[in-house]
C-alpha cells in the first residue's frame, strides 16, 4: 500500500504533468486573467525544473557523499538491491542499465576483500518482464566475473524496497551472517533505502554510488533552460516522497 502511495504521489508531483495540465487548462478557461496566471505558472515551473544548476544543487543536498571503507574491517555481506538489470525485448535476455554502477561497486568491494559475501536482493519488481529474473541474471553475471557461487546469496521475490529489506532480513538471519552489512545502492535512492533497511532491523554501512547528477563543476550552461532536465527530477521526487512516507509511518 505504501509503495502504491509513493508512486501515486510522485506521479502527481511530476513537473511535466503540471506543465501539461496548466497548458491544457489555459485553453478551457474563459477569463483572461486566469488564462494568464496558468501561462505564468507553467512558465515558472518550466524555468525552475529545466535548470540544471538547481537540479545539481538539490542532488548534492539529498545524496549522501561517497563512503570510504578502505580502512574498515571486512564486512560479512554486501547487500545489492536490484534495479540495474533490464530485460532485452528482443530475446528476453538481460543488459546493464544506467544503474549498473551498483553492480560494479559490489563486485569491486568483493574483489578488494571488503565484503565476504554478496546478497543479490530482489529482481522481480518489473511486472512486465515475467520471463526475466534479474536476481538470477545478476548471480550469473557475478559468476562470470569470478565470484564463486558459494558466496552469493540471492532472492527474487521482491517488488519494492520494503520487500527487499524484509526478504534480506530473513536470508541474513538464516545464514547467520552478522551485522553490520554494507548496503550498496544508487546515491539518490540511498536515504530512503537506508531508512527502510534500518527499520527492518538490518544495521548497515551505507555505500552510495551511481551518482548521475550533482557531481560536476558549475558551467554557465547549467542555468540555461533545458527541457531534457525536467524528467531527471522524477527519481528524486519519488525518493523524497517515499522517504517521508516511510519515516512518518515507521
* Burial readout 110-127 (b: 16 or more C-beta within 10 A, e: otherwise): beeebbebbbbbbbbbbe
Which DSSP category does 229 fall into?
A: G
pLDDT tens-digit series, residues 202-229: 999 999 999 999 998 999 999 999 999 9
Give the residue among 74, 76, 94 at the shortest CA–CA distance from 84.
Answer: 94
The pLDDT of residue 126 is above 60: no
Checking if the pLDDT of 128 tops 60, the result is no
Q: What is the mean pLDDT of residues 62-81?
A: 96
CA distance 113 to 111: 5
And the C-alpha cell for 18? 503540471
What pLDDT was estimated at residue 187?
Answer: 97
pTM of the model: 0.91
Which residues make Cβ contacts (< 8 Å) with residue 124, sequence separation at least 6? 133, 134, 135, 156, 157, 158, 159
Amino acid at each position: 500500500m505504501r509503495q502504491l502511495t509513493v508512486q501515486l504521489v510522485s506521479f502527481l508531483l511530476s513537473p511535466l504533468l503540471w506543465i501539461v495540465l496548466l497548458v491544457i487548462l489555459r485553453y478551457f478557461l474563459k477569463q483572461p486573467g486566469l488564462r494568464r496566471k496558468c501561462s505564468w505558472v507553467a512558465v515558472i515551473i518550466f524555468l525552475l525544473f529545466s535548470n540544471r544548476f538547481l537540479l545539481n544543487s538539490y542532488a548534492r543536498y539529498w545524496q549522501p557523499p561517497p563512503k570510504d571503507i578502505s580502512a574498515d574491517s571486512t564486512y560479512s555481506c554486501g547487500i545489492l538491491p536490484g534495479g540495474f538489470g533490464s530485460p532485452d525485448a528482443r530475446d528476453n535476455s538481460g543488459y546493464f542499465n544506467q544503474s549498473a554502477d551498483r553492480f560494479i561497486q559490489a563486485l569491486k568491494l568483493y574483489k578488494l576483500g571488503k565484503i565476504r559475501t554478496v546478497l543479490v536482493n530482489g529482481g522481480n519488481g518489473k511486472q512486465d518482464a515475467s520471463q526475466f529474473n534479474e536476481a538470477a541474471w545478476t548471480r550469473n553475471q557475478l559468476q562470470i566475473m569470478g565470484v564463486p557461487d558459494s558466496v552469493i546469496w540471492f532472492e527474487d521475490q521482491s517488488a519494492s524496497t520494503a520487500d527487499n529489506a524484509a526478504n534480506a532480513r530473513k536470508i541474513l538471519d538464516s545464514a547467520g551472517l552478522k551485522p553490520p552489512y554494507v548496503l550498496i545502492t544508487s546515491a539518490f535512492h540511498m536515504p530512503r533505502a537506508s531508512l527502510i533497511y534500518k527499520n527492518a532491523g538490518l544495521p548497515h554501512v551505507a555505500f552510495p554510488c551511481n551518482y548521475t547528477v550533482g557531481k560536476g563543476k558549475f558551467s554557465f550552461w547549467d542555468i540555461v533552460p533545458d527541457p531534457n532536465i525536467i524528467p531527471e527530477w522524477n527519481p528524486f521526487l519519488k525518493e523524497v516522497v517515499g522517504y517521508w512516507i516511510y519515516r512518518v509511518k515507521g
